[in-house]
Each structure stands twice: as structure tokens, then as C-alpha cells.
Amino acid sequence: MSQTLVRITPKDFAPPAFIDRMRSISLTVGVVFGAMAVVGAVLYWNIFLRAWLYSFMFWLGLTTGSLALLMLQYVSGGNWGRLGRRIWEAAASNWWLMLLFSLPIAAGMKLLFKWTDPAVAATLGNDKIHYYLNTPFFLVRGALYFAGWAILYTILMRWSKKEEAGDTTPAQFVFIQNLSGFGIVFYALSITFASIDWTMSLYPQWWSTVWGMLFMVGQVLSTFCFTIWLFTRLSGSEPVSRIFKVDYLHDFGKLMFAFVVLWAYLSFSQWLIIWSGNMLSEIRWYVMRLNNGWQYFGTILIFVHFVFPFALLLSRNTKRSKTRVVAIALLVMFMRLVDLFWQTAPNFYPGKQGVDAGLNNFGWPDAAMYIVCPIAMGGIWLFFFYMRLSKRSLMPVNDPGFTEMLEAKHG
Amino acid sequence: MKAGPGPIFGLMAEFETPTELVHAAKGAYAAGYRKMDTYTPYPLEEAAEAIGAHHNRVSLIVLIGAMLGMVGGYSLEYWVSVIAYPINSGGKPFHSWPAFIPVTFECAILGASLAAVFGMLALNGLPQPYHPVFNAPNFVRASKDRFFLCIEAQDPRFSPSDTRKLLESFQPEEITEVPY
């Protein structure tokens, strides 16, 4: 067969113009809702902080979840990794934005975290708990997590830019693989401690050893959902449409399915072990969440975060249909937010039998803040994300495996 | 083997490249043929796709197997813990469904995997000690360097002359009648 050799350059996969349009929409949404969040912060600082914390955990999930997938695909290889690489690089670049977003939490931590009050810390039943849960150490730990993420991101990005310029050698690829392997270990440790610090310590009487894993799985799951949505969006037009194959969608669908199952597996293990043990120290976390109106959210999570997507994604045809996979991805992404809500919010509205009734204390300002904050943060996050995405080619064309992806499978 | 007209298994076209095979398989599928198969030296996902090999009943059988395993596992636990040997453990109700879930899940997986293996074997007719395609003279090369498409005589649209004409339109290396 006669073939013309064509050299693919990064220019051939320049981002389409509609990314700029999506960027300006994000900015508008971010500014409008950001202004509402600021008004809310002035009027209801306490409530704003609670909503801000859960939004922070959600968007941090997309940022560090992307960092994790970026490192994972360097270690494992595979087409799915090459397709998502630019998306995850752009998302992980938002680490500085998340650092900025964490400042209100640091400023208001006295209101969020009860253990900051020495009087409360004394009632926690362990006189050594302040070795870990004290304000300076909490802030230093936060700085360390961000420093680690920033360093990993910077090294990965420097390599990626070099590769795009065509200046890399196979030896350097081995280096980036080894670094990624180490980086995944750091990711696991940092998210374990970060999730304990920022969410589990909201109720310092309680602990769960699977907590960090739950957050890692949640972060990667929401990143996959986001990637599926954006990748499908991009695949409808040039340049991504040139290499799009239904098999890629199928692969992402399978990965999303796997993480939906893993989330259910870990969440259920935590519940089953605590339920079987039935110890006061552990079960009260669930008692709080299965009464006073919070139980509806738990039920929604079981069915909409697990049963429904699980049943649909079992089918091969569903995983190969753009509209259906995207619809499920967006639904699961929304459920991630509901899950974070269910994990964090009841701590602030616990409800005591006869005294006050949990969700009944959740008024209109609370609801408004819990809706406005994630949208405000998301608009700004997406603005910087699209800005990064539009600066570089959408595919790593100099990756040794990339040429293979241009070929039809049957030669 | 006797020469001359007799019942044949099908018509087999031989191709040099996988691209030609996939093209021919797609063409035959579009022409309405369903009873056909492709034979290649290595797994060729697109050839399977082209002849509609993925539209089979295995997934349905697996689903049924999983359901049966699920119901069976849960029923067994219910019978053991509630009816046959009710034991008060930690003051929990006899029907403690959260504790039943892991075994229910495992039984669903067991049912699904058994259904997958045996359903697959039942539908594809394996093990099959004799298969007529091996009567085609050049067929050994299917495990080496050639790509084959065989349209079977059982297909309602099959006619020795028309099917041959269709296969010829894909310009194969050779077309052979496969005897039983």
C-alpha cells in the first residue's frame, strides 16, 4: 500500500475555539456566584464556611484526583492516559487556586473545627489528641500537602513541555515513571491525612481507617466523570474527532464503572464494620446521619450513587453511547457532591432528640450557601482550567504510543 | 471426497490483509448475511464487530445467573439465620440484612461466572471435535498469515451463485466451496 509519511505536530491538535467560549461562560458564572458567595460570607460567615469547606473538598478532588491520574497513567500506560493527559495537567495546575480557596477555611477554622477549643479537646477522652489536633500543626500539615502537590505538578509539567518540544529521551521517560510511582505514594498519604484533617476531624470523637481511601476513590471517580464529559464534548469537533474511537469511550466507561463499584465497596465496608461492632464511639457518626432527615440523603446515595449507575453501566451498549455515558458521568459527579454533603454537613446540624431536629435547622441561608459556593468555586476553577487547556495541544503527539492511536485498528 | 454437487458447509473467501477481510465482512453483513464467521491468525476485534458477534445472548445469561446467585445466597442466609438456627448475636435482629450483603454479593458473582462459562460454551457449541471449515484446502493458513470469511450455507440468503458473486466483488485471493 502506498503511504505518505505525515509528521504530526502539536499544532495539528490545537484546541478548538469553543474552549475560549466555555472559559468566558465559566468566568461569568464564577464572578456572579462568587459575588453572591461574598455577600453570604459577610452576612452568614459561619454558614458560609461550612458550605465553602464542602465545595473545597469537591473541587480539590478534581485537582488532586487529576494529579493522581496523571501519575497513574505514566506508570500504567494505555490509550486512556494519553487521551486524558492534557485535561489532567490543566486540572492539576489549579493547585495554587485551591491553596487560595483554603485560606477562608484556615481563617475560620475556630468556627469549623470544635477541637480548636481547648475545652472541647479536653472532653474528647484522650489526653494526647492535641498532639495531632492543634492549630499550628494543622496549618503546617496543610502547607506540606500543597507543597508536595505543587512540586509533583511542576516536575511532571516540565517533562511534559519538554516532550511536546520533542526534546525527550527514553531514559527521561523512565525517570518520569519512577517519579510518578513515588508521587502516587505521596498522593495516597497526603489525601489520607488531608481528609482526616479537613473532614474527619469535624467530628473528632469519631474515626474510620478507610476514610482516606474513600476520599481517594471519590476524587478519582469525580475526575473520571469530568474527563468523560469534557472528552466527549471535545470529540464532537476537530481536532479530537480525528482520533476519537468508540472504544475510548468504552474504556472510560469501564473505569468509571470500576470506581463506582469501589466507592460502594469501601462505603459499605465502613458501614458494615461499624454496624457490626455497634460501639458507641463509632456508631454515633452513623446514628447522626441516619436520623433527623439526613437518612434521605443516605438513601439517595445508595440508589443514585451506586445502584442506578451500576445497573446501567453493566451494559456494553450503554458504555458505548456518548449521550448515555455522559449523562451517567454528570449524575455521578453530582452525587459526589451529595456524598461530601452527607459526610460533612450533619456535623453542623447534628440534632438531639427532642431538643432540635437536625435537618430542620438547615434553613434557607444554609441551603443557599450550599448551592452557591460549589458553583462559585467551580466557575473560577473552570476559568483557570480552560485557560490552561487552551494554551497547549490537546494530545501528547510526541508520546511514543501516540502514532499507534492514529491508525485504524485493522491496519 | 467425492467431486461434484453435494451439500456444502459454505463458501470461504481468503484474504491477504485484515483490512480486506473487515471490508468484506462488513459488506456481507450489510447484504443481509448473518450465518458467517471470520477466521484470523490473531484476535481481530473489528472483524468480530463487523459480523455482529457482539450481539449475542451471553450477557443476558450472565445477568440471569447473577440474579439467581443473589437470590439464592440471600435466601440461604435468611433461612439459616432466621428460620433454622436463630441465634441472638449482639442483640441484633435475626434478619440482619447488612451482614448478609457480602455473601449475597459473592453468590451473585459465582452465579454470574458459572453462567458466563457454561452459557458461552452452550451458545458457541464448544467443544467441537469436528468442524467442516478445516476441509478447505488452504485453511491451515488461518493460524499463520491469511484471513478468511466463510458464509455458511445455512444462511437463508445463501445461494451458491449469488453468494459467490458477492464474495468475488471483495476481490479475495481465492474462493473455495467448503464441503461437509
CB-based contact, B41 to chain A, within 8 Å: no
C-alpha cell at A56: 473545597
Strand partners, B178: B10
Residue B70's Cα: distance from chain center in Å?
A: 25
List B residues 63-122 in contact with A (Cβ-Cβ < 8 A). 63, 90, 92, 98-99, 101-102
Mean confidence (pLDDT) of chain A: 90
Locus of grid cell 446540624: A349
Give the count of beta carbons closer than 10 Å to the beta carbon of residue B92: 14
Scanning every residue of chain B, which has its alpha carbon at the shortest distance from the alpha carbon of A272? B98
Give the count of beta carbons closer than 10 Å to the beta carbon of residue A265: 16
Of the residues B16, B20, B21, B22, the best mutation for testing chain A's interface (the one with the most A CB atoms within 10 Å of its CB) is: B22
Q: Could you report the per-residue pLDDT of B106-162, keeping only the tens digit for each?
A: 999 999 999 999 999 998 888 888 888 888 888 888 888 889 889 888 888 888 888
Measured at the CA of A393, the angle between CA A389 and CA A394, to 5 degrees, comes to: 70
Q: Could you report the per-residue pLDDT of A208-223, keeping only the tens digit for each?
A: 999 999 999 999 999 9
Out of A2-11, A200-209, A397-406, B90-99, pick the least confident. A2-11
Can you tell me whether residue A29 is helix, strand or coil?
Answer: helix
Cβ-based burial of B79 (10 A; exposed 0-12, middle 13-18, buried ≥19):
exposed
CB-based contact, B18 to chain A, within 8 Å: yes
pLDDT at A354: 45
Q: Could you report the per-residue pLDDT of B3-33, keeping only the tens digit for each?
A: 455 688 888 889 888 888 898 888 889 888 8
pTM of the model: 0.87
- Residue A247 pLDDT more than 70? yes
Locus of grid cell 484526583: A65
Give the count of beta carbons closer than 10 Å to the beta carbon of residue A228: 24
Query: Which positions in chain A touch B44 (Cβ < 8 Å)?
Result: 410
Confidence of residue A83 (pLDDT cuts 50, 70, 90): very high
Q: Say if residues A111 and A200 touch (Cβ distance below 8 Å).
A: no
Q: Given A271, A278, A410, which is nearest B19 (Cβ)? A: A410
Confidence of residue A5 (pLDDT cuts 50, 70, 90): low
Look at residues A327, A389, A373 and name the one whose alpha carbon lies nearest to residue A22. A389
Query: Which positions in chain B touch A411 (Cβ < 8 Å)?
Result: 17-19
Measured at the CA of A395, the angle between CA A393 and CA A401, to 5 degrees, comes to: 140
